[in-house]
Structure 1
Amino acid sequence: MHVAKILAATTVAVFSFAVAAPKTQAQISVNIGPVPSCPYGYYEAPPYNCAPYGYYGPEWFTSGVFIGAGPWFHGPEHFYGHVDNHYHPEHGYHGPYPARGEAPRPEYHVDHNENFHGNEMRDGHGHVGGEHH
C-alpha cells in the first residue's frame, strides 16, 4: 500500500509540472528587406550586391525590369536563365559594379542583349541547372 501511495503522489506531481510548464511555439521570422534596386540585377546570394551589365541574359528581364533572384525571385516556376559567371566575383570578376539605385545606361538594352554569351544556367536562387550546366 505504501508503494501505491508513492506512485500516486509521483504521478500527480509529474502531471502538475507538465500542466504548469509554459508552452512555447517555434517562431521563425525572416525579414529580408526590400528588393535591391540595381540597374542590371543583383547576385542571387547574400549580400545581394548589384551585378554588372552582362551577368544576366535577356530572359531575366521583362520590359527592362529584372525579374529577381534570391528570396525576391518572382519568375515562372522551373525557370532557368542564362548567366555569364565570368562577371561574378567568385569567378574572378574585379570590374566595376553599378550602385544601388543607379539608372541603367541607355546604350545597354538588358532585355534585348543580342551580344550576350552566357556560360551557365541558373534558377534565380543560385542553383545551376537547366539545359546547359
Structure 2
Amino acid sequence: MLTFDLIWETFLENYKVEDIDLPHPDQIPSVIQNASRLLNNRMRTKAVCNFASEIVEGLSNEDDLILLAHYIKLVQLTNSKVFYEKLYNPFSADVGVRNFKTQLDSLNNSVKEQENLIDEIIFNAMEDFI
C-alpha cells in the first residue's frame, strides 16, 4: 500500500514548479485518485484510493509509486498546456503575445516527453520471462 504523503512527495521530487502552480492541498486526494485511475487503465491494475486512511490499496512497489507520480506530472503538464492555449490563443495577435507558437510547442514537447518517460518506466518494470 502506498500512502498519499509518499505519492505526493515523490511527485514533488519529480515536478519542480512554484507552489502557486500546484493543486490546493484539499485537491491532493482527488489528484492521486485520478492518477490511480489512469494507472489502472494503462496497467489493468485494481488500485483503489482509501480516503479515510489516505492510502492507495492494490499498489505496493517502487514502480507503482514512480508511475503514479509521473501520471500526476503528466496531468499537471497537460492542464498547463490547455490553460495556456485557452488563455493566450484568443488574444495572441491582439495583445502582442510573442512567441505563442514556440511556447505552445515547448509545452507540447513537455507533455510528449512525459508520455515517453511513462512508457519507458513501464517497459523497465516489465519482468523478463526468458
Instruction: Give TM-score, length-normalised by structure 1.
Output: 0.23
Bigger proportion of residues as helix: 2
Larger Rg: 1
